[in-house]
Amino acid sequence: MNHTSTDLDRRVAKAVASYWATRQRQSAKQGASGQRDQGARSAVTGGAQMDGFVALVTELIVEAGINEKHIHHNTALELPGFFRPTKEWDLLVVCDSQLVTALETKSQVGPSFGNNFNNRTEEAMGSALDLWTAFREGAFNKTIRPWLGYIFLLEDCDGSRRPVKVREPHFKVFPEFVNASYGKRYELFCRKLVRERHYDAAACLLSEQKAGLKGRFTEPAEDLMFLQFAKSLAAHAARFKT
């Protein structure tokens, strides 16, 4: 990849700012219409918050040599599943009837971190299991293994930084989860997704709402930095230059 880390940080910052600005617009629009959803759902249910990241990944794939005509990020996002008929991804790359790349992007803001953590983890694990089982059965490629990526953005706030107690009525939880905040839980989750080969690369970012409108973000772990994610993606995409 030819980009410097500074250049990539600037582009990620743009995607982060887009995320918070989109949420703000959606929340204001629903509030003005008198149909505000409960809690933070007014922004969540509008969708499109992670479009800045999808656009950035699209740019990186094109820069790696794949023609944009092979990249799907608005329509034609369904892939066949094994446990369900189809699953819609956030971005797909399909070249010569071969699945090259599939991307999942997710985020979470407060205050209901506890209510949504299990949903987010189950979605990501389930999507990967469904895709790889379908791949095994020949749904996408004959022999070429696709690249699967996961991007997660978490609100950086007291609720995501506070230690969380775990319940152990029968058996002890793994030690890394003891008193781990939701920020730490998501870091562990993203790392384990890659180590267990469910995803080829994962990026985990934290951003505080007000600072995020200016594009500010932090990355909790070197192995989950967007730079590492981008390098892995570019190396894979370069094999399919068109």
Query: What integer pLDDT is reported at residue 29 of this predicted model?
Result: 79
Asked if residues 143 and 72 have their Cβ atoms less than 8 Å apart, the reply is no
Partner residues linked to 205 by β-bridges: 153
Sequence-distant (6+) residues with CB within 8 A of 15 are 52, 53, 55, 56
Q: Does residue 135 surpass a pLDDT of 50?
A: yes
| Largest Cα span, the chain | 56
Express each pLDDT in 137-150 by its tens digit.
999 977 889 999 99
CA dist list (Å): 3 to 6, 60, 80, 140, 230: 8, 10, 34, 31, 10
Q: Measure the CA–CA gap between 207 and 146, rounded to whole angstroms.
A: 30
pLDDT value at 47 more than 80: no
> What is residue 32's predicted lDDT score, i.e. its pLDDT?
65
Query: pLDDT band for position 43 (50/70/90)?
Result: very low
Lookup: tokens for 135: 């791949």
Show the DSSP H helices in 64-112 as ranges: none
6-20 per-position pLDDT tens digit: 899 999 999 999 999
Proportion of the chain above pLDDT 70, given as a percent: 91
Residue 92 has pLDDT above 90, yes or no: yes
Q: Which pLDDT band, with edges at 50, 70 and 90, does 34 fall under?
A: low
CA separation for the pair 165, 25 (Å, rounded):
35
Any idea what DSSP says for residue 207?
E
User: Nearest 5°: phi and psi at 231?
Assistant: -65, -45
**Statement: residue 45 has pLDDT above 70:** no
**pLDDT number for residue 46:** 43
Alpha carbon distance 150, 191 (integer Å)? 11
* Model confidence band, residue 170 (pLDDT cutoffs 50, 70, 90): very high
